[in-house]
Chain A
């Protein structure tokens, strides 16, 4: 068993945005009993003891946690490299200065498109101008800035201008990540999946941008796995390099794994060390022994680890099958049909995007005892 390198701390699923591509779970109300500050402190200490070196503070919108500065200070005291993954709504200059002083190392700000109206429409709320302003604050305070953009059918044609915007903002890194179809995004999949022509055009732009901007900006491009021959090496292997703690303390190998029919493991009931080593949610697909064919006898089993368990479950109802993205999977037709539909004569542009409704779940956590 390996030691994990990274902890994804999902501090809250509350969020001011309503993105249709949101990959957080559908049953958000189940996560409203959020961990308290001291519980997060314990998670951070136990994660550090387990070998974690990087802490990604995410959500939802982590800035909605009033104790964010305290959580950052604790992670910093433990020597962790701390990333804040944020919409930037709520990143005022005073708040940013407090976070800087507390030891936050790096800020990743999402933007939905380069044009204010389109960005606001995808985010479901006026947010573009505040994001741009916050990017300026991040640079002024001397932080490295990553601009995160989730790509899909409705913004992928803007990728050249998105890169131009990131460069103009002085971004050190830009992450162009094609949508991962989990949680709410699965519901919008057919409306979000780009066509092959769109992808090919975007890839040309990305290659050119790397040549042109490579000296000052790192351009990361996450390919859409539905279009690849082999599956992604999801999380670098199940429960191998990363772990996720959800807002209510559930411990998972990755954020999407909440959807799988595995018994829950929660930090309120057990130590992180024991959960990582022994809980079924961690051991179910660790290593290669669980693999069916064609993975079991495949040369690539240690390269892509059979792909994504959650994707296998979504498409086939069985998390232990080969990721259907793989052209060798007996279920590959299911993905092929989805891709075919995205490239059909009658385009998917007419399919409406369903924004994530967040307002209803926009409650501050109360002091009610944990529901089990």
Chain B
């Protein structure tokens, strides 16, 4: 419940061959009130935009970052891999996503 926490250090960067998955204690769900997908963590909520939600739906431990980028490329006009990697790296730092080696 406490909001005054110090920052977690970033120790892991998502690479193309990583298999990202949601951390065990994290849930991806839809908030009716906000009409947005959200990531629920024991103490925090991350409100997602459409593409963020699409990325996370594919973070099932069976898709590599490169495969997620390819999959999204089929849906959106431009998907930049470096942006997807940055997005995932930030969520790794916030303990919402875990990376398994390829």
- A, B assembled together: yes
Residues of A with Cβ closer than 8 Å to B? 3, 5-6, 8, 49-51, 53-54, 56, 58, 79, 81, 83, 85, 105-106, 108, 144, 146, 172-173, 175, 177, 180, 210-211, 214-215, 218, 220-223, 225, 232-236, 242
Range for the number of chain B residues in contact with chain A: 20 to 34
Bound CA–CA A105/B9 (angstroms)? 26
A218 and B3 contact, CB distance less than 8 A? no
Bound CA–CA A173/B93 (angstroms)? 14
A105 and B45 contact, CB distance less than 8 A? no
Given the interface pairs A172-B24, A173-B42, the reply to whether A3 lies near B2 with Cβ below 8 Å is no
Set of chain B residues within 8 Å of A235, measured between Cβ atoms = 3
B45 and A220 contact, CB distance less than 8 A? no
Set of chain B residues within 8 Å of A6, measured between Cβ atoms = 1, 45
**B33 CB within 8 Å of chain A:** yes
A50 and B5 contact, CB distance less than 8 A? no
Residues of B with Cβ closer than 8 Å to A? 1-6, 8-9, 11, 24-25, 27, 29, 31, 33-34, 38, 40, 42-43, 45, 95
Beyond A54-B45, A144-B24, A242-B1, 4 additional contacts (C-beta under 8 Å) are: A53-B31, A53-B40, A106-B42, A172-B24
A222 and B33 contact, CB distance less than 8 A? no
B4 and A105 contact, CB distance less than 8 A? no
Do most interface residues of chain B lie in helix, strand or loop, or is the interface mixed? Answer: loop
CB distance from A272 to the nearest CB of B (A): 13
Name the CB-closest residue of B to A80. Answer: B40
Given the interface pairs A53-B40, A144-B42, the reply to whether A214 lies near B9 with Cβ below 8 Å is yes
Residue of B1, B6, B11, B43 touching A223 (CB-CB under 8 A): B6
Q: With contacts defined as CB atoms under 8 Å apart, how many contacts are there between chain A and chain B in the complex?
A: 71
Q: Taking each of A53, A105, A146, A222, which has the highest tally of chain B beta carbons within 10 Å of its own beta carbon?
A: A53
Q: Taking each of B1, B9, B27, which has the highest tally of chain A beta carbons within 10 Å of its own beta carbon?
A: B1
Set of chain B residues within 8 Å of A210, measured between Cβ atoms = 8-9
Set of chain A residues within 8 Å of B3, measured between Cβ atoms = 232-236
CB distance from A32 to the nearest CB of B (A): 23
B33 and A3 contact, CB distance less than 8 A? yes
Bound CA–CA A56/B44 (angstroms)? 12
A222 and B5 contact, CB distance less than 8 A? yes
CB distance from A306 to the nearest CB of B (A): 14
A51 and B33 contact, CB distance less than 8 A? yes
Name the CB-closest residue of A to B31. Answer: A53
A220 and B24 contact, CB distance less than 8 A? no
Bound CA–CA A144/B23 (angstroms)? 10
